[in-house]
Structure 1
């Protein structure tokens, strides 16, 4: 898949809450669902051509399948309520990936990411990445629960505000906080984590 197509698909997935909000306001439900199903179908078709690990393709495929499922559910129900559950299922998927790496893999998701920059991670770094993976699991649980609350509430403005802005800000704060903590630990111990 071309770099431009990848960027467009990432933007569509990232902007999903805004796309749903404005799509419901300015498009017919049928047009919005057709657009979302087309995006999911395109993503599923293009996954096999990507040069990612099998796990990366499976995760991307799962996200596309979730998008197709929520759009199909809304189509079958004849309303937009199903679309509000996409962020919940994305958080559940991410939680599953992170928990699976904690329980069943030799390296956690965060350790694999850390080893891209530092292949010879010391034992203290491995322990640190394991703790960070656990923190992300907690984040996905809390974020998914709040996303579910906004979906059940049904207030589209509140749902869009949380899932399209606040959740991204919280994720950014967690990333920045972890980076600051890691920098402080490195300076104080003179080690790499």
Structure 2
């Protein structure tokens, strides 16, 4: 049941921009804000991870702002919040270690060779740059773009870019492994 719940939360989180776009003009922003806050709170309760507690608190602030103003702008800032939290998590791991990507790699291979540790650090740095870029564009679309452009970027293009980054890293990782397996 927990796995199913996580899949549902993940799917709703991924679809968030498209769901908000579809609901704009049909539902009062206060109801959308309540739904967003409930989703974030449930995700935190399901995972009990610190970063999701921060997202739930930030989401609560956005939901309160949307409720008080009856505007959708606070709801459109949610992707900015998520990118900021991910930047803090990944960036903090670079400073206080081990890097997030190294922790994930060690789940598959507990005894990572030195070259792989260096590679995971670089990949974590690349993700930090991505979160800065993506969060900045998400902010610009929330503030200055149409609702349609906001939904397109945050609900489609940002995920395509993440997929390209994952695929690119996978290809680079294969080359790094191959280069070190022969020498």
Q: TM-score, normalised by structure 1?
A: 0.87
Contact kept in structure 2, 1:41 and 1:64, CA below 8 Å? yes
Contact 2:30 2:66 (8 Å CA) reproduced? no
- Paired with 1:12 and 1:82, the residues of 2 have a C-alpha distance of 18
Deviations 1:86-119 (A, max 9, x none): 11111111111111111122x1101111111111
* Secondary structure in structure 2 of the residue aligned to 1:127: helix
Contact 1:81 1:154 survives alignment (8 Å): no
* Aligned counterparts, 1:39-118, within 5 A: 39-48=39-48, 57-105=49-97, 107-118=98-109
The answer on 1:35 being equivalent to 2:35 is yes
Structure 1 distance, partners of 2:31, 2:142, is: 21
TM-score by length of 2: 0.92
User: 2:33·2:62 contact (CA, 8 Å) conserved in 1?
Assistant: no
CA distance in 2, matches of 1:75, 1:135: 36
Shift in CA distance, 108/35, structure 1 to aligned 2, threshold 3 Å: same
SS in 2 for 1:119: coil
Residues paired across the two proteins, number: 182
* Structure 1 counterpart of 2:167: 176
Unpaired runs of 5+ in structure 1? 49-56
Measured after TM superposition, the shift of residue 43 of structure 1 is: 3.2
Q: 1:162 aligns with which of 153, 165, 175?
A: 153
Of the structure 1 ranges 20-29 and 110-119, higher mean CA displacement relative to structure 2 is found in 20-29
